[in-house]
Amino acid sequence: MIAAMEEKLVTLAILTYSKAQILKNVLENEGIDACIQNVNLIQPVISSGVRVRIKEHDLPRALKIIESSAWLAEDIVSEENEKDKKKTPKILIPVDFSSYSLKACEFGFNFAEHIHAEIVLFHVYFTPIYIPNIQYVTEEYNTLNPQPVIKGVGEDIHKKLLNLSKAVDKKIADGEYPNVRYTCVLREGIPEEEILHYAKKERPVIIIMGTRGESQKELDLIGSVTAEVIDRSPTFVYAIPENAVSKTFDEIKRVGMITNFDQRDLIAFDSLITTFKDYKFEISLLHLNTDEQKRTWNEIKLAGIKEYFKKQYPELKLDYHIIDENHLLTNLEKFLTEKQIDVLCVTNYKRNIFARLFNPSIARKMLFHSRIPLLVIK
């Protein structure tokens, strides 16, 4: 009976199959025996609700391991902690372990300190396994065991996530980052879809991203994760180009905001000022002129908008400029450089999917042709 009690198993976590494999591997590397139950034997890769079970006497040590891996701890959180989390504003930083991730972290941690927010470092991975119920898959697939592949992917992800966490902890200890609470969240799936799903559910104050990922050695305008998030995000997106000069919000002195004289631009402007009310910066209203005959009329409109904003925000410094759309990117980049614009602000209205694909927005164009960070407002 004593032996039976010693061998009693308890459920440590209920996860997806691939995530359960990662946890099992982490535990076994620490000398804790673990087993997985409730696996769909026909299609193990897509199993959900998989239980990771361990011996009862290993539970305290296993919980310590989970606490050290913040992305696992999110699945085992008390209702009380969940309520506390909802009270704290969040800043979402998608990471892919590239150097651009640390650049986004540097900006995000400094901003989080000012608005008393919590950082969420968010990584999405894709398990390279085909689902074996597709008619084109050959019979040989059924003889393959996906577990070694998933285990290998899991080991690599866990190692990278731990290294990123250690790098962040060191920067906090060295005073490079402020001491802001942060958590790591791990998701399996398509990066842009998982980022957007999380943003719609949790409603972070802002999403902060680099413009190029670890696997994007060349420009990929339509396929970029950042560009897709910009198009569809329900909240602010701050996109930091590869070659942007690292600045904190305190160091931002001039903001350029593109307007098309749409009422939604007025709403976006108010959202910008309200959200970042603690920061003092000058704003240049920019209009991209497509018709030379309307240039004078457009200047009158810009002057009118400026006066309207001056009445609403009397302490705000405002000016306005017209930029010809011929050679748009060159003209805009020249203007941003000459006027020392620190951030380009754009609104991004919902557009038809075909318009998004064949007529990319100014935000997408600027994303890959500028060293100026983009602040995108929905």
Long-range CB pairs of 308-314, under 8 A, 24+ apart, other chains included: 308/266, 309/269, 309/285, 312/270, 313/273
pLDDT of residue 27: 85
Q: What's the predicted TM-score (pTM) here?
A: 0.71
- The DSSP annotation for 7-27 comes to T-EEEEEEE-HHHHHHHHHHH
**Local confidence pLDDT in tens for the 378 residues of the chain:** 444 445 678 888 777 776 777 788 788 888 888 888 876 554 544 545 678 888 888 888 887 777 666 555 554 443 344 444 457 899 999 998 877 788 889 999 999 998 899 999 999 887 655 444 444 444 444 444 555 555 556 677 878 888 888 889 999 999 999 999 999 888 888 888 899 999 999 999 999 988 764 445 444 433 368 878 888 888 999 988 877 777 777 888 899 998 877 777 888 888 888 888 777 889 998 888 777 777 787 888 888 888 888 888 888 888 888 887 777 778 888 888 898 999 989 887 655 554 554 555 666 666 666 678 889 887
pLDDT of residue 171: 92
Using CB atoms within 10 Å of the CB of residue 363, give its burial: 0 to 12 exposed, 13 to 18 middle, 19+ buried. buried
> Position of tokens 């791990």?
186
Query: In whole angstroms, what is the distance from residue 37 CA to residue 140 CA?
Result: 26
pLDDT of residue 218: 44
